[in-house]
Amino acid sequence: MTISTEATRALERAGLDAAAIERLVLAAVAEDLDGGVDVTSVATVPDDQRSVLDLVARTAGVVAGIPVVHAVMDVVGQGRISTLERAVDSEHVVAGAVLLSASGPTIDLLTAERTALNLLCHLSGIATLTARWVAEVQGTHTAIRDTRKTTPGLRVLEKYAVRCGGGVNHRMSLSDAALVKDNHVLAAGGVREAFDAVRSRWPGLAVEVEVDSLDQLATVLDAGADLVLLDNFDVAATARAVELTAGRARLESSGGLSLDVAAAYAATGVDFLAVGALTHSAPVLDIGGDLRDDDGDGRADASASAQGV
């Protein structure tokens, strides 16, 4: 592997597949270089110059992706970059906090900067938005859950970021759990028929069924659904669904949810709020790279902004 043992262990402690993250980072760096070199840095930076790159939060938020940054520095620096973790994933940080410092050849740091920030800003943005939703339902038993509305190729990292923000994950793929939605119901000829078909084919698999009415809810509860997705139910209908279900299945609200109504839905007693926006619409957390001179022990004697574009 091209990433260090230290970075590998950090990724594994985070519950991430180090080999998969290495492949993703290699692809991201290759995309940025496009078969060439960082022409601007090579032209302007002496080969033997060394610096420290501080990754600094410009706004407050929740951090996610520090081990991934380690991997980026390893891939680009090939052992020439050392990193010092100053914040940890899931940590709430204030504006101005230094999240990670990397020291090594200046050219390598500048080459790695944008890939590192692209991933760290995106993942920290997801964690920050998730934490806002979690705060809205604090004091209830309702959990904030993601969906499969993820960026192709980044699902594992985006769902990891949701966990960093205090949320929980829905299924990771089409194969690890069943979710019967309206198109499956249409194809099978009815909600009960669709549920029975999945349960018959995959008897040991948890089956969630989407319903859009209380009548459909009663049908799938009688059929033995493990989890029911309440599609676009308003708060009053959700409360009635919780009452009718009476603990026979877990309930998940989905569709039309926003932060300003999260607490009202949680108060009904529903088990999950499914929020696709956590991954498909989270704004990035503003994080910048500040380059400074390396005096040999990681302390700076000068500072300059290095916000790559």
Give the confidence band of 256 by pLDDT, cuts at 50, 70, 90: confident
Same domain as 269, residue 178: yes
Same domain as 179, residue 258: yes
Cβ neighbors of 35 (< 8 A, separation 6 or more) are none
Same domain as 170, residue 114: no
Q: The CATH number of the domain where 169 resides is what?
A: 3.20.20.70
Same domain as 138, residue 275: yes
Same domain as 106, residue 167: no
Does the annotation mark 149 as catalytic? yes
Active-site entry in 58, 132, 148, 149: 149
Total domains present in the chain: 2
Does the annotation mark 91 as catalytic? no
Does the annotation mark 159 as catalytic? no
Contact 100, 84 (CB under 8 A): yes
Taking Cα atoms as reference points, which of 186, 47, 61, 73 lies closest to residue 129? 61
3 state SS for 41-66: HHHHCCCCCEEEEEEEECCCEECCCH
What is the residue-averaged pLDDT of the chain?
93
Same domain as 123, residue 51: yes
Does the annotation mark 210 as catalytic? yes
Same domain as 118, residue 28: yes
Q: What percentage of the chain carries pLDDT values higher than 70? A: 95
Active-site entry in 89, 136, 210, 294: 210
Active-site entry in 13, 23, 181, 299: 181
SS3 content of the chain, % helix, strand, coil (to 5): 45, 20, 35
Q: What is the pLDDT of residues 196-237, one digit of tens each?
A: 999 999 998 889 999 999 999 999 999 999 899 999 999 999
Same domain as 167, residue 88: no
Active-site entry in 231, 252, 271, 294: 231
Domain that holds residue 101: 5-128+283-305
Active-site entry in 54, 113, 114, 292: 114
Q: The CATH number of the domain where 88 resides is what?
A: 3.90.1170.20
**Stretch (H or E) spanning 136:** helix 106-136
d(CA 102, CA 15): 23
Same domain as 292, residue 220: no
Q: What is the pLDDT of residues 33-85, one digit of tens each?
A: 999 999 999 999 999 999 999 999 999 999 999 999 999 999 999 999 999 99
Does the annotation mark 181 as catalytic? yes
